[in-house]
Amino acid sequence: MFQNNCASCHPNGENIIRRGRTLKIKALSKRGLDSSEAIAQVAREGIGQMSGYAETLGEGGDVIVGEWVWQQAQKAWTQG
């Protein structure tokens, strides 16, 4: 789901539009996004210049994206 909806702006947890607003653990924590639920809320409702994607992600899609992004952030976006 991330690859289809988020990766174009956030490849490997980066941010091609606002470089400091990455999905890396340090950047997320700095903005108070310290859980999968907080990330899901951003995916659903948007934040700053980023629009929300509730309709695009569908019911429960925000939770799937939030959990996956949080797991990747905890692993520093490394494979394995």
pLDDT tens string 55-78: 999 999 999 999 999 999 999 999
- Report the C-alpha gap between 26 and 29 in whole angstroms: 5
The answer to the question of residue 30 being in a domain is yes
| Mean confidence (pLDDT) of the chain | 96
Predicted pLDDT at 80: 55
pLDDT band with cut points at 50, 70 and 90 for residue 28: very high
User: Does the pTM of the predicted model rise above 0.85?
Assistant: yes
Domain count for the chain, please give it.
Answer: 1
3-state SS assignment for residue 66: helix
- CATH code of 16's domain: 1.10.760.10
- What residues make up the domain containing 45? 2-74
List C-alpha distances in Å: 46 to 38, 71, 77.
11, 20, 22
